[in-house]
Structure 1
Amino acid sequence: MELFTKNVIKVIKNIPSGHVMSYGQIARIAGNPRSARQVVRILHSMSKKHDLPWHRVINAKGEIGIQDEELFFTQKSRLENEGVQFKGKNRVDIEAYRYSPDCEDSM
Protein backbone atom coordinates (compact mmCIF):
# COMPACT_ATOMS: atom_id res chain seq x y z
CA MET A 1 0.00 0.00 0.00
CA GLU A 2 1.32 3.44 -0.93
CA LEU A 3 2.29 5.91 1.79
CA PHE A 4 -0.33 8.42 0.63
CA THR A 5 -3.06 5.77 0.89
CA LYS A 6 -1.93 4.81 4.40
CA ASN A 7 -1.92 8.47 5.41
CA VAL A 8 -5.42 9.05 4.00
CA ILE A 9 -6.77 6.06 5.92
CA LYS A 10 -5.16 7.30 9.12
CA VAL A 11 -6.55 10.84 8.71
CA ILE A 12 -10.07 9.58 8.01
CA LYS A 13 -10.00 7.14 10.95
CA ASN A 14 -9.13 10.05 13.24
CA ILE A 15 -12.08 12.29 12.30
CA PRO A 16 -14.07 12.47 15.54
CA SER A 17 -17.79 11.95 15.79
CA GLY A 18 -19.76 15.12 15.03
CA HIS A 19 -17.08 16.55 12.75
CA VAL A 20 -16.35 16.51 9.02
CA MET A 21 -13.42 16.99 6.70
CA SER A 22 -13.29 17.74 2.99
CA TYR A 23 -11.63 15.52 0.41
CA GLY A 24 -9.09 18.24 -0.36
CA GLN A 25 -8.33 18.85 3.29
CA ILE A 26 -7.63 15.14 3.79
CA ALA A 27 -5.42 15.05 0.69
CA ARG A 28 -3.41 18.04 1.92
CA ILE A 29 -2.86 16.57 5.40
CA ALA A 30 -2.01 13.16 3.92
CA GLY A 31 0.77 14.76 1.88
CA ASN A 32 -0.61 15.46 -1.59
CA PRO A 33 -2.84 18.56 -1.79
CA ARG A 34 -3.80 17.92 -5.42
CA SER A 35 -5.20 14.45 -4.79
CA ALA A 36 -8.76 15.03 -3.59
CA ARG A 37 -10.05 12.64 -6.25
CA GLN A 38 -7.66 10.00 -4.99
CA VAL A 39 -9.23 10.40 -1.55
CA VAL A 40 -12.62 9.68 -3.16
CA ARG A 41 -11.19 6.51 -4.73
CA ILE A 42 -9.68 5.37 -1.45
CA LEU A 43 -12.97 5.93 0.36
CA HIS A 44 -14.88 4.06 -2.31
CA SER A 45 -12.54 1.07 -2.40
CA MET A 46 -11.36 0.78 1.21
CA SER A 47 -14.08 2.04 3.56
CA LYS A 48 -15.43 -1.40 4.46
CA LYS A 49 -12.04 -3.11 4.66
CA HIS A 50 -10.62 -0.47 7.02
CA ASP A 51 -13.91 0.41 8.77
CA LEU A 52 -13.58 4.07 7.79
CA PRO A 53 -16.10 6.67 8.97
CA TRP A 54 -16.74 7.61 5.31
CA HIS A 55 -19.84 9.59 6.22
CA ARG A 56 -17.65 12.28 7.83
CA VAL A 57 -16.08 13.24 4.50
CA ILE A 58 -17.85 15.91 2.43
CA ASN A 59 -16.91 18.33 -0.32
CA ALA A 60 -15.27 21.73 0.21
CA LYS A 61 -18.63 23.52 -0.04
CA GLY A 62 -19.90 21.56 2.95
CA GLU A 63 -22.15 19.40 0.82
CA ILE A 64 -22.78 15.70 0.58
CA GLY A 65 -21.55 14.87 -2.88
CA ILE A 66 -22.98 11.37 -3.22
CA GLN A 67 -25.49 11.05 -6.04
CA ASP A 68 -26.91 7.66 -5.01
CA GLU A 69 -30.10 8.42 -3.08
CA GLU A 70 -29.76 5.58 -0.56
CA LEU A 71 -26.12 6.37 0.26
CA PHE A 72 -26.96 10.09 0.43
CA PHE A 73 -29.61 9.47 3.10
CA THR A 74 -27.32 7.04 4.94
CA GLN A 75 -24.57 9.67 5.11
CA LYS A 76 -26.94 12.45 6.13
CA SER A 77 -28.60 10.30 8.81
CA ARG A 78 -25.28 9.24 10.30
CA LEU A 79 -24.07 12.83 10.47
CA GLU A 80 -27.34 14.00 12.03
CA ASN A 81 -27.10 11.18 14.61
CA GLU A 82 -23.69 12.60 15.55
CA GLY A 83 -25.18 16.07 16.06
CA VAL A 84 -24.27 17.64 12.72
CA GLN A 85 -27.02 20.02 11.61
CA PHE A 86 -27.85 20.66 7.97
CA LYS A 87 -28.71 23.86 6.16
CA GLY A 88 -31.22 22.79 3.57
CA LYS A 89 -31.11 19.36 2.03
CA ASN A 90 -27.41 18.57 1.86
CA ARG A 91 -25.20 21.35 3.25
CA VAL A 92 -23.52 21.69 6.63
CA ASP A 93 -21.72 24.72 8.01
CA ILE A 94 -18.28 23.34 7.25
CA GLU A 95 -16.57 25.93 9.42
CA ALA A 96 -18.66 24.96 12.43
CA TYR A 97 -18.13 21.20 12.04
CA ARG A 98 -14.73 21.01 10.31
CA TYR A 99 -12.14 18.91 12.07
CA SER A 100 -8.74 20.59 11.76
CA PRO A 101 -6.04 18.39 13.26
CA ASP A 102 -2.48 19.54 13.55
CA CYS A 103 -0.67 17.97 10.60
CA GLU A 104 1.96 16.38 12.84
CA ASP A 105 -0.69 14.94 15.16
CA SER A 106 -2.58 13.24 12.35
CA MET A 107 0.40 11.53 10.69
Structure 2
Amino acid sequence: MLDVSEEAPGTELPPYAERVLEVTEIIPAGRVMTYGDVAEYLGEGGPRQVGRVMALYGAPVPWWRVIRADGRLLPGHELRALEQYRVEGTPLREVAGQHMPRVDLRRARWDGRPE
Protein backbone atom coordinates (compact mmCIF):
# COMPACT_ATOMS: atom_id res chain seq x y z
CA MET A 1 0.00 0.00 0.00
CA LEU A 2 1.20 3.51 -0.81
CA ASP A 3 2.06 5.85 2.03
CA VAL A 4 -0.18 8.90 1.83
CA SER A 5 0.83 10.21 5.24
CA GLU A 6 1.81 13.55 3.64
CA GLU A 7 -1.81 14.03 2.59
CA ALA A 8 -3.83 12.78 5.53
CA PRO A 9 -2.26 10.87 8.41
CA GLY A 10 -3.98 7.56 9.09
CA THR A 11 -6.08 7.73 5.94
CA GLU A 12 -6.39 4.54 3.91
CA LEU A 13 -6.71 4.97 0.18
CA PRO A 14 -9.76 3.71 -1.67
CA PRO A 15 -8.74 0.65 -3.74
CA TYR A 16 -9.22 2.41 -7.10
CA ALA A 17 -7.10 5.36 -5.96
CA GLU A 18 -4.36 3.00 -4.85
CA ARG A 19 -4.33 1.32 -8.27
CA VAL A 20 -4.19 4.68 -10.09
CA LEU A 21 -1.27 5.84 -7.96
CA GLU A 22 0.56 2.55 -8.46
CA VAL A 23 0.33 3.01 -12.24
CA THR A 24 1.55 6.60 -11.88
CA GLU A 25 4.62 5.38 -10.00
CA ILE A 26 5.65 2.97 -12.77
CA ILE A 27 5.51 5.51 -15.61
CA PRO A 28 9.18 5.97 -16.57
CA ALA A 29 10.85 9.35 -16.17
CA GLY A 30 10.48 11.39 -19.33
CA ARG A 31 7.28 9.57 -20.34
CA VAL A 32 3.60 10.31 -19.71
CA MET A 33 0.16 8.73 -19.80
CA THR A 34 -3.10 10.62 -20.22
CA TYR A 35 -5.85 10.29 -17.65
CA GLY A 36 -7.70 8.11 -20.14
CA ASP A 37 -4.59 5.97 -20.75
CA VAL A 38 -4.38 5.20 -17.03
CA ALA A 39 -8.05 4.21 -16.91
CA GLU A 40 -7.62 2.01 -19.98
CA TYR A 41 -4.48 0.42 -18.53
CA LEU A 42 -6.43 -0.43 -15.38
CA GLY A 43 -9.49 -1.56 -17.32
CA GLU A 44 -11.80 0.49 -15.12
CA GLY A 45 -12.98 4.03 -14.57
CA GLY A 46 -12.39 6.84 -17.00
CA PRO A 47 -10.38 10.05 -17.38
CA ARG A 48 -12.50 11.97 -14.89
CA GLN A 49 -12.13 9.31 -12.21
CA VAL A 50 -8.36 9.21 -12.71
CA GLY A 51 -8.23 13.02 -12.60
CA ARG A 52 -10.18 13.03 -9.35
CA VAL A 53 -7.79 10.51 -7.79
CA MET A 54 -4.81 12.57 -8.89
CA ALA A 55 -6.35 15.78 -7.51
CA LEU A 56 -7.10 14.21 -4.12
CA TYR A 57 -4.19 11.81 -3.61
CA GLY A 58 -1.54 12.46 -6.30
CA ALA A 59 0.89 14.68 -4.39
CA PRO A 60 3.23 11.87 -3.18
CA VAL A 61 3.68 10.35 -6.67
CA PRO A 62 5.09 11.81 -9.93
CA TRP A 63 1.76 13.50 -10.74
CA TRP A 64 3.23 15.43 -13.69
CA ARG A 65 3.47 12.15 -15.64
CA VAL A 66 -0.35 11.87 -15.87
CA ILE A 67 -1.65 14.57 -18.18
CA ARG A 68 -4.54 15.88 -20.24
CA ALA A 69 -5.13 14.30 -23.65
CA ASP A 70 -4.16 17.54 -25.41
CA GLY A 71 -0.73 17.68 -23.72
CA ARG A 72 -1.43 20.95 -21.91
CA LEU A 73 0.28 21.40 -18.57
CA LEU A 74 -1.86 21.09 -15.45
CA PRO A 75 -3.49 24.49 -14.79
CA GLY A 76 -2.09 26.10 -11.67
CA HIS A 77 0.90 23.75 -11.63
CA GLU A 78 2.46 24.59 -15.01
CA LEU A 79 5.79 25.83 -13.71
CA ARG A 80 6.31 22.90 -11.32
CA ALA A 81 5.39 20.42 -14.06
CA LEU A 82 7.58 22.17 -16.65
CA GLU A 83 10.54 22.01 -14.27
CA GLN A 84 10.03 18.25 -13.84
CA TYR A 85 9.65 17.70 -17.59
CA ARG A 86 12.92 19.51 -18.24
CA VAL A 87 14.75 17.57 -15.53
CA GLU A 88 13.43 14.26 -16.89
CA GLY A 89 13.89 15.13 -20.57
CA THR A 90 10.19 14.77 -21.41
CA PRO A 91 9.60 15.74 -25.06
CA LEU A 92 7.83 19.10 -25.31
CA ARG A 93 6.52 21.11 -28.23
CA GLU A 94 5.95 24.81 -28.65
CA VAL A 95 2.47 25.97 -29.65
CA ALA A 96 2.06 29.17 -31.65
CA GLY A 97 0.51 31.92 -29.57
CA GLN A 98 0.93 30.03 -26.26
CA HIS A 99 3.44 31.02 -23.59
CA MET A 100 3.72 27.45 -22.27
CA PRO A 101 4.81 24.42 -24.26
CA ARG A 102 2.79 21.21 -24.33
CA VAL A 103 3.97 17.68 -23.81
CA ASP A 104 4.66 16.08 -27.19
CA LEU A 105 2.36 13.08 -26.76
CA ARG A 106 3.50 11.46 -29.98
CA ARG A 107 7.01 11.10 -28.52
CA ALA A 108 6.37 11.04 -24.75
CA ARG A 109 3.32 8.77 -24.42
CA TRP A 110 3.97 5.50 -22.60
CA ASP A 111 1.82 2.47 -23.37
CA GLY A 112 2.50 0.57 -20.15
CA ARG A 113 4.89 -1.96 -21.66
CA PRO A 114 8.33 -2.41 -20.11
CA GLU A 115 10.97 -0.38 -21.90
| Counterpart residue number, 2:65 | 56
**1:14 counterpart (8, 12, 26):** 26
Query: TM-score, normalized by length of structure 2?
Result: 0.74
The structure whose residues are more often helix, as a share, is 1
Pairs aligned (count)? 97
Ranges in structure 2 where 5+ consecutive residues have no aligned partner: 1-12, 95-99
Query: Taking CA–CA contacts closer than 8 Å with sequence separation of 6 or more, which of the two structures ends up with the larger relative contact order?
Result: 1
* Alpha-carbon shift at residue 43 of structure 1 (Å): 0.8
Task: Check if 1:75 corresponds to 2:86.
Answer: no
Q: Is the 8 A contact 2:34 2:66 kept in 1?
A: yes
* Alpha-carbon shift at residue 17 of structure 1 (Å): 0.6
Ranges in structure 1 where 5+ consecutive residues have no aligned partner: none
Q: Is the 8 A contact 1:4 1:31 kept in 2?
A: no
> Residue type matched to 1:61 in 2?
D
Determine which structure has more spread, i.e. the larger CA radius of gyration.
2
Task: Check if 1:5 corresponds to 2:5.
Answer: no
Displacement over 4 Å in runs of 4+ = none
* Identity fraction in percent: 29
Query: TM-score, normalized by length of structure 1?
Result: 0.79
Q: Aligned partners of 1:58 and 1:95: how far apart in 2?
A: 13
* Alpha-carbon shift at residue 2 of structure 1 (Å): 4.1
